[in-house]
Amino acid sequence: MLEPGDRAPDFKLEGDDGKTHSLKEFAGKTLILYFYPKDNTPGCTTQACEFRDSAALYKKKKAVVVGVSPDKATTHGKFRDKFELNFLLLADPDHKVAEAYGAWGDKVLYGRKYKGIIRSTFVIDEKGKVVSAQHKVSPKGHAAAILETL
């Protein structure tokens, strides 16, 4: 599991804009990389909308928000448009990037064990180092909590 001070793992993932994005393109910026389970679900929508509504505050801090889930890029595009999201969403369908960040693991729902996204957020500095690593976060109020860490 990633900890503050670790180098953030590189990635190459398709975005909701149809382009391939990598960690390197965010060099020189503070990156808020958050992993969420699924587009259009209540918790994920709450979390995404809070990041959307906080965009001006993140911009003042020179931070860029990027969401990652196992959904396809086309699904991300629909989610983005439906809720007027103003940040990039990346598709990680094979969950390899989530695994590299420690955001994929065992979960339990109604007594059933399965593997899935562990809602996690990473603050990555301009040089690619992890400044903050938060796992099992609550969607509500999370965008404001991350702002406080900046």
Give the residue numbers marked as catalytic. 44
Contacts of 46 (CB under 8 A, 6+ apart): 139, 140
Strands 20-22 and 12-15: antiparallel
Single-letter code of the amino acid located at 149: T
Tell me the CB-side half-sphere exposure of residue 71, using CA atoms within 13 A.
23
